[in-house]
Amino acid sequence: MAQGDIEDPTDYGSIVRNNLMKRPGYAPYCAGSYEKCGLPRLHWDGEQFACGCGYRTEFPADFIDKYKERWHRPADQSQPQTQGERR
């Protein structure tokens, strides 16, 4: 666990998914073509992560629902929810 990570014992199935769920502000790298974009960090488009080159992640809906619940909630609930915590 890196400094600043949320304590969450859940294994989300991959290093990238674990980082997305446990590291505030984490964004994966583009997996498109280096020649097109240089493979930068992706931006959140509200449903998936995307790059200007056209690459877009395809995380399953159930994972995206968990991600949005943790990090993209209304302003009055802006703090991340950790394992077992209810609001």
pLDDT of amino acid 83: 43
pLDDT of amino acid 76: 54
For residue 35, what are the domain limits?
Answer: 29-74
Total number of domains in the chain: 1
Q: Does a structural domain hold residue 16?
A: no
The residues near 83 (Cβ < 8 Å, ≥ 6 apart) are 7, 8, 9, 10
Do 52 and 32 contact (CB within 8 A), yes or no?
A: no
pLDDT of amino acid 2: 83
Q: Does a structural domain hold residue 55?
A: yes
Q: Does a structural domain hold residue 8?
A: no
Q: What is the mean pLDDT of each run of 10 residues along the chain (87 residues)?
A: 89 97 97 95 97 97 97 65 42
Q: Does a structural domain hold residue 38?
A: yes
Q: Does a structural domain hold residue 56?
A: yes
Q: Does a structural domain hold residue 48?
A: yes
